[in-house]
Chains A and B, each alone.
Chain A
Amino acid sequence: MRFGLLDWAITVVSLVATVWIGLRTRRYVGRIEDYLVANRGMGVWVGTASLVSTEIGIITYMYQAQFGFLAGFSAFIVGLITISVCFAIGRTGFVISRLRELEVMTVPEYLERRYNRRVRVLAGVMMAVGGSLNLGIFPIIEARYLTITTGIPPRYVGWTMAALLLIALAYTALGGMLSLMVTNYLQYVLLAAGTLVITAACLMHIGWSGMTGAVVEHMHGRGLDPFADLGPAFVLWQVLLWVAFMTVWQSAAMRGFSARDAATGRKVFTMTSVLFLGRAVIPMAWGIAALAFFAGRAGPAGPAPGETPAAELARVDAELTTGFRPLLEQGRLEALLPRVDRLETLARAERSEPHMRHAQALREEIGMVAMPWMVAVLIPSGWAGLVMAGMLAASVSTYAGYFLGWSAVISQDVVSPLLGRQLSEEGKLRLTRATIVALVAFIMVWSLVYHVPGPAYFYLQVTANLFMAPTLLTIAAGLYWRRASAAGAWACFILGAVTSLVYLVPGAGLSVGAAGNLSWGLALLGLVAGSLLRPPRAQARIGQGTE
């Protein structure tokens, strides 16, 4: 471990500077509109920095690297989908421009104007649940990165994460979106620098040829063709999900709402598209580099003299059952990889489904920590501090952005409408701040009790999918289809959430692509059938409540 005194100094100074700047903005926040959308004064560059730094955290780099480690270059298809969707939305203004012109502060707010208050509350509840579950695994995964790269003993990691959450909580609760925009700018500069340092280290030590060699040699014919490896259903679902993400994901949509005008919002999304390509492809490449790094150090694994395949399968499985965890925690992935490979090969030959699942689960665990272990070895002292400052900046900015986004939905779209009375500006601010505190408490607990099924990338996307399909469909239909009704919106939200919930139940066995696409199909069916069976009472006018 090379994390020295200089590295700690760089890390602490960057965090103190961020908090100081964040707290300075508090005096300018007087109204809820200042707090949630920075009085709609955001420009293109700060908007781009704010959107990208919110959507890049340590968690993003961890799950993207895991995806690259598991799927090889096939994972890059997500980067191509992201840039295409984000660029198209930036150029056309699909949904985002209309919502900005309507001057809403949260996505469900539009649903009350177009349908009715009950649809807004339902959407708010679904978003609050999906968003909180999504955010709920961030601390535990990010804690693993911090433990590995800094050498902090695991028993203190919970406290470290609590400190980070409290830092984000302090300046977000006090300064709101204005604080976020300013701190996000500084954080973006740091995280971009850290990202480029890790990428340079991967290219210098492993190189592109090392990465391609690892995929060709160790993925047994997989890792290049995304349609063959991940399936057309997965690719289709990603396109749909990213359209929804760019338009109705609260933390992303809030950047559009905070823009000076609709044209500025569109420019932010166009600019962001390029950075979102890097957000996916760069950490995925780190994951592939980590595969090359550890596979290159691995020794051979094979049968003992006279051992039958069935006996070898049982032995390797038993060795991994007892020895996997200690080796993983020591970062000795080069000792684990060949055994997991062997387990997989033998399980396939013996057609043993439980052993196949065991091998896959172990590979997913290795994939989650391979990138940080590689970073801990490759990045020298001094640079490690810069990288850590970048990673913590990414982490804190993501927490801050998500706290504000989801607390805005919970307070403005769930609690406030259910109170049945108009709150004062001060009351709204107090409610939103109290919600942020409650949200922080929830994710600390959830992070400790829930075990993620399958790759983290899939969990995060499925929890988002709880409400993404219905929200985009009801908003797009509200804006562009006059016959969309409140009954259709209700059916859309209920049906759209079912398959995502089934996926999250441990042992349900539903594939991620099927869960995602079914969610979209059922949500669309609910919207169309509900709207046709119970049409709106009055002729709908775009952007205005009719029922």
Chain B
Amino acid sequence: MSWLGLWAVVFYVSVASFALVSALVAIGGYREVRALFQAFADADRGRKPPDPR
């Protein structure tokens, strides 16, 4: 394979994989951010002193 052929493959693979993995990160990351906030909120409630009422 010539250098030009190799660089064409590298370029198109990099763009396609960047788009695909970015889409996966956008979808998977949303669920993880929500779970992370939930975990911290739970831990935060656990740290607070009990309500005297």
Contacts and interface: CB of A to CB of B under 8 A. Distances in A.
A80 B10 CA distance: 8
B14 A277 contact: yes
B25 A188 contact: yes
A45 B47 contact: no
Given A43-B35, A181-B36, A277-B17, A188 B44 contact: no
A185 B17 contact: no
A192 interface: yes
A278 B39 CA distance: 33
Interface in B1-48: 3-4, 7-8, 10-11, 13-15, 17-19, 21-22, 24-33, 35-37, 39-41, 43-44, 47
Given A73-B3, A189-B26, A27 B44 contact: yes
B14 A73 contact: no
B15 A208 contact: no
A28 B11 contact: no
B49 to A, nearest CB: 14
Contacts, number: 111
A195 B15 CA distance: 10
Interface string A198-210: 0100000000100
Q: How large is the interface on B (under 10, 10 to 19, 20 to 34, 35 or more residues)?
A: 20 to 34
Contacts of A80: 10
Contacts of B13: 277
A365 interface: no
Contacts of B37: 182
Given A48-B25, A275-B18, A275-B21, A43 B7 contact: no
Contact of A274 (B8, B17, B33, B40): B17
A281 B11 contact: yes
Contact of B32 (A30, A45, A274): A45
A28 B3 contact: no
Interface residues of A, number: 42
Contacts of A301: none
A212 interface: yes
B15 to A, nearest CB: 6
B18 A73 contact: no
Contact of B21 (A76, A182, A274, A280): A274
Given A27-B44, A41-B36, A189-B26, A79 B3 contact: no
A196 interface: yes
A195 B32 CA distance: 24
Nearest to A277: B14
Contact of B4 (A41, A212, A277, A281): A212
Contacts of B28: 44-45
Central interface residue in B3, B10, B11, B44, by most chain A CB within 10 Å: B11
A275 B22 contact: yes
Nearest to B18: A278
B39 to A, nearest CB: 6
A71 to B, nearest CB: 12
Contacts of B41: 28
A127 interface: no
A200 B37 CA distance: 35
Nearest to A228: B3
A154 to B, nearest CB: 32
B10 to A, nearest CB: 5
Contacts of B7: 73, 76, 224
A73 B19 contact: no
Contact of A182 (B31, B36, B39, B44): B36
B19 A185 contact: no
Interface string A202-231: 000000100010000000000011000000
Interface of A: 25, 27-28, 30, 38-39, 41-46, 48-49, 52, 73, 76, 79-80, 178, 181-182, 185, 188-189, 192, 195-196, 199, 208, 212, 224-225, 271, 274-275, 277-278, 280-282, 285
21 contacts: A28-B44, A41-B40, A44-B28, A46-B32, A46-B33, A49-B25, A73-B4, A73-B7, A76-B7, A76-B10, A181-B36, A185-B25, A185-B30, A185-B33, A189-B22, A192-B19, A192-B26, A196-B22, A274-B21, A277-B17, A278-B18
Interface of B: 3-4, 7-8, 10-11, 13-15, 17-19, 21-22, 24-33, 35-37, 39-41, 43-44, 47
Q: Which 10 A-B pairs have the closest CB atoms?
A: A278-B18, A45-B28, A192-B22, A28-B40, A224-B3, A45-B29, A281-B14, A73-B7, A43-B32, A46-B32
Given A28-B40, A192-B18, A192-B19, 18 more contacts: A28-B41, A39-B40, A39-B43, A43-B35, A44-B32, A45-B25, A45-B29, A46-B32, A48-B25, A181-B36, A185-B29, A192-B26, A195-B18, A196-B19, A208-B8, A212-B8, A281-B11, A281-B14
